[in-house]
Structure 1
């Protein structure tokens, strides 16, 4: 058996697979995000450990035959440790916009784009540390190690400070072409290689499970923990996406269009991400919106109704987009706007607007924002001929049908889509334990297919143009 641990923003998921890569158990424990100021987003790393303990217990299965562990997690977060390994402050998360000024200043140095192949987004790790230098100088002086969220779990599990190439790509300190830290970029932000974790490929061994932790959960001591991956690369591994062809659309807290490539294809002017994939010699392009399923959860909270009840009120057919439009920018936006100050809103409402119409607008707004990301990938020389849908939002037939209309390509829902990143992490654990490569990964069985209706495509294209014009 192989265990995947996925550290998300809203919770920790655990996935157990057998030797045939069939899911035989899942567990979950929730997490909360602290927003001490508008635009800020933080979590206590100890909460991640507590939630991992609970998610492992929630599996409800003996773990004595687990042979390998893989990790995946939310990207870009800054976990700052002092000389003794003590956490200095709450982790600043991926969707935190406080470092927008620092990000713009770093992005103004051409070397950052030249080396990383990416814009420096406010959510990336490097600008967070520059922000600390300016606003928390005493804390910054005590920083001796910076870890990404999932790698803090690795430190707890193994005692080793190691990251993988896909997650490290999102720091703005990393050179994806050479798959290594950039000493020049580290130095430009007052950092050094000694403050960074060691590096391993996602499918390689990156630490062994400590006996203390093994005994707590009934796991075998010393089993390998894989390098793992950032959440989206892990989800792609779960979907068997390792090269050109089908891409990935993820409808989690954030929204992602992901396409694997066999070479590094940077295009920072499009605001897409060009990162290493979780397997050796592979890369990917990725467009990201900061709020996807989070928009629907927010709207459900506003109207005081469960998401499932709101969706039941809607016509199940995608149809033509409505005149009411929703901008899904609850916490700013990345691709293609690169604007942490961008905010959400409804337009086109009247006194006759209804709750179902506004719910539908939320779904359409997210679908159109993801269509913008697909267009950006195509502009950058990538893209996909179809999209495998993963994440909690992929359970909605209507939402996937809307995505097919908005992007113009078939959207495919596999069985078990809700376990995407955790399943991918478990696969990486299997690879680390057995030495298997990409050939061991099959694409999942497709449970449902949503094809775009050519007759509706012009209306969806017009809706996207209308939203862009209003935003401008």
Structure 2
């Protein structure tokens, strides 16, 4: 069976066709998500849902024609954001994406909308979460009159692909909106109504492998799942014994828990009906290395020179990090943390002999590793079993052998890199394979994942 996995990102949209028998990626197509709308306010981050839907429909049409027959379509994409829909399932608002900043504006008595809603409900919320965005819109009178419900953009696209008019949201996406009861896998009606919001405008939730319906040409469409969970599902072959480290613009560490666990260093998210995903997120992560590259680049340009392969030069600078003495200690929390957005990074242990490009480059890479390891170490002690495999995804780790070695040494495990590069789209496809009965469990479906 050939299955399409569709990943609707903030800046790109990717679709992959996967052979369910052997896990081979037959093709991957990526198109720009150029749906950003002009903002009237600097804190607004909006996209056009109709344009996103059109881009997705075009990709699906091309792939279903070229790689027929297609047995199922799985969908994932950017979480947290919301779009309002009317009784016919049509968008009646822009997509308020996860980067939208209206929740950080002052609500009353010096308290932001997000802070007020967190205190009022007891849930930890941040600007960009769908519930915070909706609360802001409610208070400002900006909820469209025709709005019946809201949902994420993957849910909106999948609903239309399947010919439906009412969104059905998987718990992996629903939890990203906030005010979600993890234990009972549903939105917390009491918390929502305590804040003066209409519970009926929240979408229906499932934790199963539901099929939404079929496309116009009869292809089953699975309920969309969150992109973090899709990346985990599409990267690890042994889901119960693996840690996933993803290094891109940000960085994340994820591994499964068989029960609901509260930790100070990692967030608990739904994964499927049987388990949860523990996730630690760095707000800067791989971007710290890009910032260092920009620093070097500016220095080179000021000297009237040019370097076309600066990342390769930086990797050579850091490759002998074992031979360096008196290492720099670099905290890569340049953008703060989710717990403390005002926190900043630091460089310590600077001496007269170690303020060198080699020390600084190696220090930033080690800082990326250490930030994720600290999150993991803070929660690993309460787990029943210790994972045995370390899987790496994202271009930040995929293209940097030095960073791979540092992760291996810090975690005491060899890094395994998936052969395929579009992990979230791959994971959405695996989920769809279970939805249509090609595999009976996700664990079985994940056995087709191959590593380099």
2:29 partner SS? strand
Q: Which residue of 2 aligns with 1:452?
A: none
Alignment partner of 1:184: what SS? helix
Q: Match of 1:288, SS? A: strand
Match of 2:137 in 1: 132
TM score, norm. by length of structure 2: 0.80
Cα distance in structure 1, aligned partners of 2:213 and 2:243: 31
Which of the numbers 434, 437, 440 marks the counterpart of 1:434?
Answer: 437
CA contact (8 A) 1:286 1:377 kept: no
What is the total number of aligned residue pairs between the two structures? Answer: 421
Match of residue 277 from structure 2:
284
Task: Give the match for residue 407 of structure 2.
Answer: 403
Task: Map 1:337-376; keep pairs closer than 5 Å.
Answer: 338-343=339-344, 358-376=360-378
Structure 2 match to 1:177: 183
Matches within 5 A, 1:93-132: 93=98, 95-100=99-104, 101-109=112-120, 112-113=122-123, 119-132=124-137
Q: Over aligned residues, Cα RMSD in angstroms?
A: 3.4
Tell me the SS of whatever aligns to 1:107.
helix
CA–CA separation in structure 2 for the residues paired with 1:208 and 1:371: 43
Q: Aligned runs of 1:28-427 on 2, under 5 Å?
A: 28-31=30-33, 41-52=45-56, 62-82=66-86, 85-93=90-98, 95-100=99-104, 101-109=112-120, 112-113=122-123, 119-134=124-139, 136-139=140-143, 143-160=147-164, 161-201=167-207, 203-209=209-215, 211=216, 221-240=217-236, 243-267=239-263, 270-277=264-271, 279-300=272-293, 303=297, 308-319=311-322, 322-323=327-328, 325-330=330-335, 332-334=336-338, 338-343=339-344, 358-378=360-380, 381=383, 384-395=387-398, 396-406=400-410, 408-427=411-430
Gaps of 5+ in 1: 114-118, 212-220, 448-472
> 1:281 and 1:399, CA in 2 relative to 1: closer, same or farther beyond 3 A?
same
Query: Which ranges in structure 2 are unaligned for 5 or more consecutive residues?
Result: 105-111, 299-307
Q: Distance in 2 between matches of 1:300 and 1:34?
A: 30
- Alpha carbons of 1:291 and 1:242: their partners in 2 closer, same or farther (altered >3 Å)? same
The residue number in structure 2 matching 1:19 is 20
Which protein shows a greater Rg?
Answer: 2
Q: So what's the TM-score if we normalise by structure 1?
A: 0.77
| Aligned-partner Cα distance in 1 for 2:376–2:14 | 28
- The 1-side partners of 2:57 and 2:356 are apart by 43
